[in-house]
Amino acid sequence: MSGLRILHLVGSAYNDFYCDLSRLYAQDCLTATAERSRYDFQIAYVTPDRQWRFPISLSPEDISVAKPMNLFDAIELITAQNIDLVLPQMFCIPGMTHYRALFDLLKIPYIGNTPDIMAIAAHKARAKAIVNAAGVKVPHGELLRQGDIPTITPPAIIKPASSDNSLGVVLVKDVTEYDAALKTAFAYASEVVVEKFIELGREVRCGIIVKDGELVGLPLEEYLVDPDEKPIRSYADKLQQTDDGNLLFAAKDNHKSWIVDPNDPITQKVQQVAKECHRALGCRHYSLFDFRIDPQGEPWFLEAGLYCSFAPKSVIPSMAKAVGISLHELLMTAINETLDKNKFNLQ
Q: Is the pLDDT of residue 343 over 50?
A: no
pLDDT tens for 259-314 read: 999 999 999 999 999 999 999 999 999 999 999 999 999 999 999 999 899 999 89
Considering the domain architecture, whether residues 149 and 162 belong to the same structural domain is answered as: yes
Considering the domain architecture, whether residues 57 and 19 belong to the same structural domain is answered as: yes
Are 15 and 92 in contact by the 8 Å Cβ rule? The answer is yes
Considering the domain architecture, whether residues 183 and 91 belong to the same structural domain is answered as: no
Q: Residues 48-68: what's their mean pLDDT? A: 97
pLDDT tens for 146-171 read: 999 999 999 999 999 987 657 889 99
pLDDT tens for 200-241 read: 889 999 999 999 999 999 999 999 886 666 666 655 555 555
Considering the domain architecture, whether residues 32 and 103 belong to the same structural domain is answered as: yes
Question: Which pLDDT does position 346 carry in this prediction?
Answer: 42
Does any domain span residue 291? yes
Q: Is the pLDDT of residue 340 over 90?
A: no
Percent of the chain's residues with pLDDT above 70: 87
What is d(CA 227, CA 141) in angstroms, rounded to the nearest whole number? 21
Does any domain span residue 313? no
Question: Which pLDDT does position 201 carry in this prediction?
Answer: 87
Domain that holds residue 182: 140-196
Q: b/e for 33-72, b at 16 or more Cβ within 10 A?
A: beeeebbbbbbbbbbeeebbbbbeebeeeebeebeebeee
Q: Is the pLDDT of residue 19 over 60?
A: yes
Considering the domain architecture, whether residues 178 and 238 belong to the same structural domain is answered as: no
pTM, two decimals, is: 0.89
Considering the domain architecture, whether residues 145 and 104 belong to the same structural domain is answered as: no
Q: Is the pLDDT of residue 36 over 70?
A: no
Question: Which pLDDT does position 162 carry in this prediction?
Answer: 87
Are 206 and 136 in contact by the 8 Å Cβ rule? The answer is no
Residue type for position 263: N
Considering the domain architecture, whether residues 186 and 205 belong to the same structural domain is answered as: no
Considering the domain architecture, whether residues 105 and 175 belong to the same structural domain is answered as: no
Question: Which pLDDT does position 240 carry in this prediction?
Answer: 54
pLDDT tens for 75-95 read: 999 999 999 999 999 999 999
What CATH number is associated with residue 205?
A: 3.30.470.20
Q: Is the pLDDT of residue 43 over 90?
A: yes
What CATH number is associated with residue 92?
A: 3.40.50.20
* Mean pLDDT for the chain overall: 90
Q: Residues 113-135: what's their mean pLDDT? A: 97
